[in-house]
């Protein structure tokens, strides 16, 4: 089955920039998507199509893509950004989707 | 406003059968793919599969093929996830979620989740 790889954890101080990477073989051909999940809540998409931001998502969230890696960047991190972040994409056929293992963002 | 409303928490015994539901509001249910996502306690999100209610075309993750059944009844705007024989390892939160559109491969809308606990 299709796999996406993320670091298990990232830690930053408030006001710094957090970068979370996600790698997968199909990412040169498929968009990457990012979800934020806070404890006890359903996931919320924060980036779609590699770099697009849904309405209501703060501008400090941005996305980029290069080869087999997509990156979620959170600029000027706030305490409220502490959460689990999951990348997601599909295989080259679009039939099978997958989530990355998730990255716990800790705001020190 | 698009809403997905899932059925309530379930407590079952190993070997029991179970069918949980997800009802869509505020959009054309038959015309949007609905998927299911598992989250085991303290673990990450897992894509289980997806169904197009308009014609019941269904795709399963290889990890879940044969373990669960995904179905939908477009007449009542409801999708289902069912088990014929639960195991303790099926204990998890299960989310339904709606694909944004056919040109993208992500879930734009999520249900509130259904907690399934399987214990003897």
The pLDDT confidence band at residue A47, using thresholds 50, 70 and 90, is very high
| CB < 8 Å from A in window 62-101 of B | 62-63, 95, 100
Chosen for mutation from B106, B107, B108, B109 (greatest number of chain A CBs closer than 10 Å) is B106
pLDDT digits (tens, 9 = 90+) for B56-115: 999 999 999 999 999 999 999 999 999 999 999 999 999 999 999 988 999 999 999 999
Long-range contacts of B102-107 (CB under 8 A, 24+ apart): B102/B33, B104/A31, B104/A33, B104/A48, B104/A49, B105/A30, B105/A31, B105/A33, B105/A88, B105/A89, B105/A90, B105/A94, B105/A97, B106/A31, B106/A33, B106/A45, B106/A48, B106/A88, B107/A43, B107/A45, B107/A88, B107/B35, B107/B37
> For B77-92, what is each residue's pLDDT tens digit?
999 999 999 999 999 9
Interchain proximity A43–B62, CB inside 8 Å:
no
Average pLDDT, chain B: 97
Q: Is pLDDT above 80 for A1? A: no
Residues of B in contact with A31 (CB under 8 A): 104-106
Task: Identify the pLDDT of residue A2.
Answer: 84
| Residue A89 sits at the chain B interface (C-beta within 8 Å) | yes
């Amino acid at each position: 089955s299709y796999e996406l790889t993320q670091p298990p954890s990232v830690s930053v101080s408030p006001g710094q920039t957090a970068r979370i990477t996600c790698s997968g073989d199909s990412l040169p051909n498929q968009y990457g998507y990012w979800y934020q999940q806070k404890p006890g809540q359903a996931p919320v998409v924060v980036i779609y199509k590699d770099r697009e931001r849904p309405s209501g998502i703060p501008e400090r969230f941005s996305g980029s893509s290069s080869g087999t890696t997509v990156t979620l960047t959170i600029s000027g991190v706030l305490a409220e950004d502490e959460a689990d972040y999951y990348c997601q994409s599909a295989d080259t056929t679009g039939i099978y989707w997958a989530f990355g293992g998730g990255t716990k963002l800790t705001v020190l | 406003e698009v809403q997905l409303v899932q059925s309530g928490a379930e407590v079952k015994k190993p070997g029991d059968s179970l069918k949980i539901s997800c009802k869509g509001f505020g959009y054309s249910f038959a015309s949007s793919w609905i998927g299911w996502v598992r989250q085991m306690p303290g673990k990450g999100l897992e894509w289980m599969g997806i169904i197009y209610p308009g014609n019941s075309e269904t795709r399963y993750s290889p990890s879940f093929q044969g373990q669960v059944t995904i179905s939908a009844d477009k007449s009542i705007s409801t999708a289902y996830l069912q088990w014929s024989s639960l195991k303790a390892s099926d204990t998890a939160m299960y989310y339904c979620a709606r694909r944004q559109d056919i040109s993208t491969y992500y879930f734009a809308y999520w249900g509130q989740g259904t907690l399934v606990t399987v214990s003897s």
